[in-house]
Structure 1
């Protein structure tokens, strides 16, 4: 972390430089999920229900709620035959079966990259593997993946937990990961698995999604120049929280903010350069709002630091695509 000279930032009203990491904010899976709900609201006359938060951002959920979406925790809150959208984080087969049994009009908002992890879980379990899943207990994505093969899947939340694994056949072990994890912590997990299980079967491609990787690498590119990192995102956004943790592990103080009004003046004392990014579920306009909030404390200069450009796009499900057409 860069040290701040004595003539910089004697208080929180001094001039500052803001480094905007790029890519930041919405990824293709989030954009797709939001558009699915928006199109469903336009094409359905009855209420559109959404199981869980469509993406983990309070502002997105509040906006869609104002426009008519009804967010529920479980399917028992959805009337028989009604429309329900599954969130970007995916659901277990048991949830799909319940929806079919009750005749619900299902529109699947699962991110295609999460769906790929589900497919791997089914394939690994079918060949008799113990599937070690690295992720965070209670996260919707983890619940959905475990649901694909609950009898074969073991959840591990840290590399240290690997040592306690005792599969029935150490020669038949494979692994999967949540798509929104920290790359360095995941690498430690995989190394621990390789050490304990030399016959480990590895997926052909990593499960951490491109957007998570890109946002972490973009943040790392500006952290050393920054005295403070601000990450725009909600507290239940895994990839946003990972960005905060990454910065702190590398030695730069970091704070998670839901919007500009969350910025506390005392964070800015002694701070000359602020690195800023946003999780993949945070709307871009919230970054603009955060920059404006910082400008209220004193003059700011803004520099874009675009590490790579994202061109990934995902097709919409046939139900909403056909309705729109």
Structure 2
């Protein structure tokens, strides 16, 4: 029986970014250096496959520092943590390794600089997301005001409209954030906006790649976790760019094949914490059901690499 023809448009860049790659390496190097178990506060990155793999190697994932013993190393996730967390680890004399993405740390430093200059921060981000919690936790209570949607702008109560600065979560929709920043600037003309928005290169590049493949495809599959902000944004970008069917799947087993019956072109991308092995698994699942042609659509080449912390590079 001949299989129906299908073209898979594979977005590039997709999948792992430098910050995620570094965070995973940090956990693996910590296990090599200190042996198991190594404790990790919060999922190191938002991907079940990655977390399960590291758990099998001896990583123990906990939600809070109080769940960690004093005598084992603890790693802080790529999303960053409130200032109180490393301070408490230091008080307990724990070995602590910070796997915060350097691009998130850059936002933390930016916020601290503005605060030192007497400015109050407005942050565009998602309430409760670990990165937002970590960034807001860099400064005292009330110094960072969170804005999620355009509806939040009119009612925003600030201390002094002339002393404000804008920061953002690194994994937001580029277009939505630009719209929200413009609305904030219109309401608070003195608002200091970063020269280049805080949204990281990887988020920006993955969204641009989805926009490039959107006109060619009947459906878009984004491989990523349901708690991954940048993965969910890719689904939204696909929908906004005209993809009638734009869905998040964790892996091949989650694909709704009935929804894809009769289609001839599918776009595939992956969030910044999804490993290539899951992308290949999805491609293989299509090859089993269709006479599949794979076309790469590359909109940028990434060659960013971040060093791991010195404590891991030093001999025991």
TM-score, normalised with respect to structure 2: 0.96
Give 3-state SS (helix, strand or coil) of 1:223's partner: helix
The aligned residue for residue 226 of structure 1 is 217
Is 2:146 the counterpart of 1:119?
A: no
Query: What secondary structure sits across from 1:18 in the alignment?
Result: strand
**Aligned with 2:284: secondary structure?**
helix
State yes or no: 1:57 paired with 2:50: no
Residue 249 of structure 1, CA deviation? 2.0
Which deviations, in whole Å up to 9, do the C-alpha atoms of 1:82-130 show, x marking residues without a partner? 2001100001111111111111100110100000000111111222222
Q: Report how many aligned residue pairs link the two structures.
A: 312
Quote the Cα distance in structure 1 between the aligned partners of 2:229 and 2:263.
27
5 Å-filtered alignment, 1:142-181, equals: 142-149=132-139, 150-181=141-172
Q: Distance in 1 between matches of 2:24 and 2:35?
A: 18
Matched-pair contact (CA < 8 Å) for 1:263–1:293: no
Whether 1:105 aligns to 2:95 is: yes
Q: Which runs of 4+ in 1 moved over 6 A?
A: none
The answer to which of 13-22 and 133-142 deviates more is 13-22
Cα pair 2:16 2:272 within 8 Å, conserved: yes
Determine the C-alpha separation between the residues in 2 that align with 1:46 and 1:223: 45
Aligned to 1:35: 25
How far the C-alpha of 1:243 sits from its partner, in A, is 0.1
Taking a change above 3 Å as real, the CA distance of residues 130 and 180 of structure 1, as seen in their structure-2 partners, is same
Report if the CA contact (8 A) 1:159-1:185 is conserved. no
Q: Distance in 2 between matches of 1:152 and 1:37?
A: 33
Contact 1:28 / 1:312 at 8 angstroms: preserved in 2? yes
Q: Does 1:132 align with 2:99?
A: no
C-alpha separation in 1, matches of 2:175 and 2:73: 40
Cα-to-partner distance string for 1:183-233 (whole Å, 9 max, x where unaligned): 010011111011101111122331000000000001100001110000000
Q: 1:168 and 1:39 mapped to 2: Cα distance?
A: 45
Residues in 1 aligned to 2:19 and 2:231: alpha-carbon distance in whole angstroms:
15
- 8 Å contact 1:233–1:256 — kept in the other structure? yes
Post-superposition shift, 1:80?
Answer: 1.3
Is 1:50–1:87's contact at 8 Å kept on the other side of the alignment? yes
Shift of 1:46: 4.9
In structure 2, what is the Cα distance between the partners aligned to 1:132 and 1:159?
13
Unmatched tracts of structure 2, length 5 or more: none
CA distance in 2, matches of 1:214, 1:28: 13
Which residue number in structure 2 is paired with residue 8 of structure 1? none
Corresponding residue for residue 196 of structure 1 = 187
Does the 8 Å contact 1:22/1:307 carry over to 2?
Answer: yes
For 2:232, the equivalent position in structure 1 comes to: 241
What SS does structure 1 have at the residue aligned with 2:216? coil
